[in-house]
Amino acid sequence: MAKLWCMGEALIDFVPVLAPDGGHAYAPRCGGSPFNAAKAAALSGAEVGFLGALSTDLFGEMLAAELARYGIDTRQAPRLTAPTTLAFVDLQAGEPRYAFFNEGTATRMIAPDPAAFAPAPGDVVEFGSISLIDLPGADRIAAFAETIAGRAMIAIDPNARPGMTPELAVWRQRIARILAVADIVRLSVEDLAALAPDTTPAHFAANLIAQGAGLVVVTKGAEGAEAWTAHAHVTVPGFRVAVVDTVGAGDTLMGSLLAQLALGGHTQSGALGALSAEGLVAMLTHAVAAASLNCMASGCAPPTPEAVAAFLQARATTT
């Protein structure tokens, strides 16, 4: 079976909770977009490895233990003495807002060595999020992606953070370097607005497929998602659920989708182009349902395949 590798930040989200005295407090939660996607993929039954840097500090130990609980391989995740990235989450506006503390962290200090990475045929390496913002790590990760392209399938989920990106034009150029070698691209409409504000999803997808991408997915929150390959274009509606918060929804969708592709043998050379529209609809519907279930819990809480199947079955019997 192909293995999924997630490259990027592992951090601690401090999420608001009600304190015993009735006031507000913050509780630590393990997180980070690639970290969350790794958990979602592992829960979906895929073999998963994490390539991001883990600190040797208290929070790094928490993150390493969490990955181990999900059966995620961390043998190639460098352990650095630099501190863990911290993020405080504000949920009062509905959509989560973040305050990141990333100066001098393990995420920024990572220096991946492509010569030491030996993927098997069909393996996928996923990139994205704040690890692609701050130097020196961001440029090192982009160079790693360019170097291993052709030896592994490249997936990217930009997870744009314009508010914490001091040089947006430079970030766009860095993301473009990875998009140029990417096989699988997942981005939200918000990501697209930050990356290419005057481009429609269809036009953006067409350009990526013309330069070699096999699958492009654009997610639209509660409205569902669209996906394109060289031979298919499908649209999947969203699901109405009681939303607690949307933290990690996109990560859960990405992890679920990558797991389905790997488990179905679709990450071998040329396999993405052979995906049928029906098969793509089924996988994307499952991934959107997983993201919807994630939104019904606090923080990133990816569901099991059984939970997704039960959710879809219940929706099918009420329509």
Mean pLDDT of 63-85: 98
Average pLDDT for 60-76:
98
Higher-confidence residue: 24 or 236? 236
Residue 249 identity (one-letter amino acid): A
DSSP 245-264: --TTHHHHHHHHHHHHHHHT
Average model confidence (pLDDT) across the chain = 94
- More confident call, 247 vs 212: 212
Average pLDDT over residues 203-216: 97
Residue 17 has a pLDDT of: 83
Q: Which pLDDT score is estimated for 12?
A: 95
| Three-class DSSP labels, 61-108 | HHHHHHHHHCCCECCCCCEECCCCEEEEEECCCCCCEEEEECCCCHHH
Inter-CA distances, 189 with 11, 148, 224, 246, 276, Å: 24, 28, 11, 15, 24
Position 122 scores a pLDDT of 96
The mean per-residue pLDDT over the stretch 73-77 comes to: 97
For the ranges 158-167, 173-182, 204-213, which has the lowest average pLDDT? 158-167
Q: Looking at the predicted structure, is the pLDDT value of residue 244 above 90? A: no
pLDDT of residue 94: 60
pLDDT digits (tens, 9 = 90+) for 99-126: 889 999 999 999 999 999 999 999 999 9
Give strand pairing partners of 156.
Answer: 127, 185
Please tell me the predicted confidence (pLDDT) of residue 255: 98
Band (319; pLDDT cuts 50, 70, 90) = low
Contact 102, 134 (CB under 8 A): yes
* pLDDT band, very low/low/confident/very high, at 95 (cuts 50, 70, 90): low
Q: How far is CA 204 from CA 16, 19, 92, in A?
A: 36, 45, 32
Contact 127, 154 (CB under 8 A): yes
Q: What is the pLDDT of residues 122-143, one digit of tens each?
A: 999 999 999 999 999 999 999 9
Q: Say what the alpha-carbon torsion angle 196, 7, 224, 273 is, to the nearest 10 degrees.
A: 80
| Lowest pLDDT segment from 12-16, 24-28, 69-73, 315-319 | 315-319
Interacting residues of 268 by C-beta distance below 8 A, sequence separation 6+: 2, 121, 122
**Which positions ≥6 away from 16 have C-beta within 8 Å?**
24, 25, 26, 89, 90, 91
**Residue 276 reports pLDDT greater than 90:** yes
Q: Does domain 3-317 have CATH number 3.40.50.360?
A: no
Cα 8-11-14 angle, rounded to 5 deg: 150
Task: Compute the chain's Rg from CA coordinates.
Answer: 18
**The predicted structure's pLDDT at residue 93:** 62
Which residue in 54, 160, 161 sits closest to 109, CA to CA? 54
Does the reported pTM lie above 0.85?
yes
Cβ neighbours of residue 48 closer than 8 Å, sequence gap 6 or more: 3, 4, 5, 6, 38, 41, 42, 70, 71, 72, 73
pLDDT of residue 246: 85
Portion of the chain with pLDDT greater than 90, in percent: 84
Task: Taking residues 152-171, report their average pLDDT.
Answer: 94
